[in-house]
Amino acid sequence: MKNIFRNTYDILTRDLTRQEFEKMFSEDMRGMYEFYARSMKSVEGESNKLKRAMKFTWHLFLAFLLKLTPARRIAYAIALVFLCIALTQERPASALYSFVIINILLAMELADKLITKDELTVARDIQLSLQPNGNVTIPGYSIAAHSDVAKQVGGDYYDVMTLCDGNSIVVVGDVSGKGISSALYVVKMQTALQLFASETSDLKELLLKLNSHFYGQLKRNYFLTMLVIKLYPEGKAEICRAGHPPALIYKSEKKDIHWVKPNGIAVGMTASSNGKTSNGTTTQPDFGTSLQIQSLQVDRGDIICLFTDGLSESIGVDRREFGLDRLARELKNNANNSVEDIRKRIVHELTRHREGNDISDDTTFVLLKKV
């Protein structure tokens, strides 16, 4: 008997961590409520607290019930009937029937979830295959990148492309939100960018084309932020930014850090009309008029860091963000190392900052060092 209890305990607690247990009662419970709350009736207007609580519980239960398939819904109702019979008539067999039916339904729902998870894993592998591989080269630069997602698939994006004039661009983008919708927009964004990069070598025109392509097609509350840097082999660089976090530049000669943040609003939020109406009068600034291109000189040993806000806004166990200052400090303190070593150091510090917490937002950064 002792071995049975020990084996049962080992099965139940296998791979269990304190963080996972806490997550179940915080993030998982909140996520479950938000999922069902989207389809439940509102209880606003009910002044009586007891009635309000009872209505809320009932509407939440109905929202859960209606998420089941019709056949599973009937099976669940039958299980509840058996449970009521067991409680009111003291018939243990009915309780057993109820237990078996509910566990069969639980197994079915779990199987659905695991099948979906497997499919998302395949989708994640496909998304990763679309990113530049380790053999990508940029004349005059060494490059290293890191990308991680909060869910199986994500809305962060980075790429290296060759423009029609022969120079290279590095793109870092972020689709608002997380999950499948964002990941699909990422694929669409990459396809559109690769097409437009073969048509123009001007960064502003490239983003104008992208905005015209996406404006009016994005779902409500979705938009894209993006930073594009054009690199010339001799050391000149141009940066254009559309609502994205700024680029971080380390200057090796002065051993100094500064931020490059040309103006620009996010892709897909406004039209690309360049601020002109049909009769030629000027309207409020729109996507086209907001964009700026900033030029800079990149010398040997200089480092450029492009990143998404999932890096700087990563939350630690103390509820504090990783922060721009910490990122700048890590870059400066490790500037003499290779970009791959710097990448590993930033990832290490980011992991230490989270202390086992799950990633709350997709995290991507790209490092470029002039050689």
Q: What is the 3-state secondary structure (H, E, C) of the chain?
A: CHHHHHHHHHHHHCCCCHHHHHHHHHHHHHHHHHHHHCCCCCCCCCCCHHHHHHHHHHHHHHHHHHHCCHHHHHHHHHHHHHHHHHHHHCCHHHHHHHHHHHHHHHHHHHHHHHHHHHHHHHHHHHHHHCCCCCCCCECCEEEEEEEECCCCCCCEEEEEEECCCCCEEEEEEEECCCCHHHHHHHHHHHHHHHHHHCCCCCHHHHHHHHHHHHCCCCCCCCCEEEEEEEECCCCEEEEEEEECCCEEEEECCCCEEEEECCCCCCECCCCCCCCECCCCCECCCCHHHHCCEEEEECCCCCEEEEECHHHHCCECCCCCECCHHHHHHHHHHCCCCCHHHHHHHHHHHHHHHHCCCCCCCCEEEEEEEEC
All domains in the chain, ordered by first residue? 17-124 (no CATH), 136-370 (3.60.40.10)
Say yes or no to pLDDT of 252 above 60.
yes
Question: Mean pLDDT throughout 12-24?
Answer: 74
Q: What average pLDDT does this structure show over 57-72? A: 91
Mean pLDDT score, 231-247 = 93
pLDDT value of position 20: 75
User: For the whole model, what pTM was predicted?
Assistant: 0.74
Does 361 score more than 60 pLDDT? yes
The pLDDT tens digits for 280-335 are 554 555 888 889 999 999 999 999 999 999 899 888 877 788 999 999 999 999 99
